[in-house]
Amino acid sequence: MAHPIADIEAILQAHAARLERLPDYQAERLPLPALLPGQDAIAQRIDHTLLKPEATRGQIETLCQEARTHGFWSVCINPGYLPLAQEQLAGSQVRLCTVVGFPLGATLPEAKAAETAASLSAGAHEIDMVLNVGVLKSGDVVGVFTDIRGVVAAAHLVGALCKVILETALLTDEEKVLACVLAQRAGADFVKTSTGFSSGGATVEDIRLMRAVVGPEMGVKASGGVRNYADYQAMVDAGATRIGASAGVRILQDARGAAPSAPMATLAIKPTIAWLALS
């Protein structure tokens, strides 16, 4: 059963004193990238993804070829394959997206910052970092903020986007709201639902909630369980500006006239502007 949207204003008020003590780096957030002219708008919202630990070089090469052929925004891969993907995508407009602290998010903040710097040196244009879920659940907002900020600062130093993976399946609505606000104040460019390695992926309800918290200027990425065009469209309608999916080719086939699959369940929820409370 779909859960109701959280009372964002009450959550923000409950945590206001702690949040307001944190620095606010929202002004450093990078502008959301514009879709490339002449390219398929659906493909341009997709990070074509292969993050399985058993992924082979051949599978990464296929992923890159599909991205070139269909014009996906990026390929999202593990850092070890960045040199291969950079070689495969040379001369194309497809970007390189990689992951940091993946999939648990439980490593040291210094290690995440170092991994970010190494990934950027290897050619990454966008960083999807996993926040430390256990630290968030322990109520340590300073620890979560510091963890995110180190990666954001390293990414922005070279003009790279930073997305913060919340792992929404493991969080309460209150924790989702708090994570979004911490990512926002740390200067992150996107919030993202899931790694795809936990007990659940993106839901329409969570995308609506995340969009309501961060407002219109920040990116929201739906990832995990987006398998066809109906799923894709449900997420975009709910407020997602980027989709992470291994099924990018199928999504495009659905959209271009193949028999569409059944959509995900959606929930009609009025948008909120409570995100203005801490802006």
C-alpha 34/C-alpha 111 separation (Å) is 31
Q: What is the pLDDT of residue 38?
A: 82
Average pLDDT, the chain: 92
Structure tokens at 96: 């390189």
pLDDT band at residue 39 under the 50/70/90 scheme: confident
Residue 60 predicted with pLDDT over 80: yes
pLDDT tens string 177-216: 999 999 999 999 999 999 999 999 999 999 999 999 999 9
- Please say whether the beta carbons of 202 and 232 come within 8 A: no
Which pairing describes strands 74-77 and 242-245: parallel, antiparallel, or unpaired? Answer: unpaired
At 4, the amino acid letter reads P
| Helices (H) then strands (E): counts for the chain | 10, 8
Domains observed in the chain: 39-256+265-278 (3.20.20.70)
Neighbouring C-beta atoms of residue 182, cutoff 10 Å: 27
Q: What is the pLDDT of residue 177?
A: 97
Q: How many residues does the chain have?
A: 279
- What percent of the chain stands above pLDDT 70? 90
Q: Minimal CA–CA distance to 180: which of 26, 74, 34?
A: 26
Neighbouring C-beta atoms of residue 220, cutoff 10 Å: 27
- Please say whether the beta carbons of 275 and 213 come within 8 A: yes
pTM of the model: 0.91
Helices assigned H by DSSP within 71-188: 82-88, 109-121, 133-137, 141-156, 173-185
pLDDT band at residue 3 under the 50/70/90 scheme: low
Q: Minimal CA–CA distance to 127: which of 111, 116, 135, 143?
A: 116
pLDDT tens string 140-154: 999 999 999 999 999
C-alpha dist (Å) from residue 84 to 94, 114, 122: 14, 21, 10
Mean local confidence (pLDDT), 57-70: 98
State phi, psi for 219 to the nearest 5 degrees.
-75, 150
- 27, containing H or E segment: none
Q: Catalogue the active-site residues.
A: 128, 192, 221
DSSP 273: -
C-alpha dist (Å) from residue 24 to 8, 169, 184, 215, 240: 19, 27, 8, 16, 24
